[in-house]
Amino acid sequence: MNESSHRISAAHALLDSGGFEAETAALAVLANLKAEGRGSARDLLRRIARAAEIAGEPVLPFKHATLYAVLHELEFDGAIQPASDGDRAGRTFVITPRGKAFLALAQERWRSAHLVIRAAAAAAESQRP
């Protein structure tokens, strides 16, 4: 199995096994780390909440503890890694190339899922008398 297909299967394993909240939290973390650089759990929560609020979603679709829990999972999967800050309360993380691959795959999946749902809804609308 080459590196690319290994990454794809690992990403699918991560994405398929989580619940909706955990998956949303995981992808929000990866997307934010990629966009805004390193951050602690606290930083991530603050930055994601701020971005969601600007986008018109004042309430996050997951509990804050979910984000803390998925950070362990993402770290174990090699999608993120701790920056060299040791074990202080605000230990920070950075996204890894593997995490970027996860994110790219997930974004593609969510985009196509969104298109399918929108198309299905539009089809139902057009069939109304």
Partner 1 sequence: MTPMATGHSAPRTVDDYLRQLRAALEGATPALIQDALADAEDYLREEVSLGSYKPESEILARVVRSFGTPQEVAAEYRAVETRFERRHVRAERTRGKGFFSIAFDPQAYGGLLYALLALPIGIAYFTWVVTGVSLSAGLAVLIIGVPFTLLFIASCRLIALLEGRIVETLLGKRMPRRLPTEERRITGVWPRIRAMLTDARTWSTMFYMVLQLPLGVAYFVIAVVGLTLSVGLVTGPFIEAIVGRNVIFLSPAIDRFADTPLGMGVMMVVGFLLFFVLLHLMKALSGLHARYAEATLVRI
- Positions in the binding site for partner 1 (CB under 8 A): 13-14, 17-19, 22, 41-42, 60, 63-66, 68-70, 72-73, 75-76, 82, 87, 89
**Residue placing its CB nearer to partner 1 in the complex, 14 or 29:** 14
**Residue placing its CB nearer to partner 1 in the complex, 68 or 110:** 68
* Pair of tokens at residue 56: 């018109």
Q: How far is the CB of 69 from partner 1 (least distance, A)?
A: 5
Q: How far is the CB of 36 from partner 1 (least distance, A)?
A: 20
CA 26 to chain centre: 3
**Residue placing its CB nearer to partner 1 in the complex, 38 or 64:** 64
Q: In whole angstroms, give the CA distance from residue 68 to residue 78.
A: 16
**Residue placing its CB nearer to partner 1 in the complex, 88 or 128:** 88
Q: How far is the CB of 17 from partner 1 (least distance, A)?
A: 4
Question: 51-68 burial, b if ≥16 CB within 10 A, otherwise e?
Answer: eeeeeeeeebebeeebbe
Contacts of 73 (CB under 8 A, 6+ apart): 14, 18, 22, 26
Task: Find, among 21, 47, 53, 22, the residue nearest to 34 by Cα.
Answer: 47
Q: How far is the CB of 39 from partner 1 (least distance, A)?
A: 15
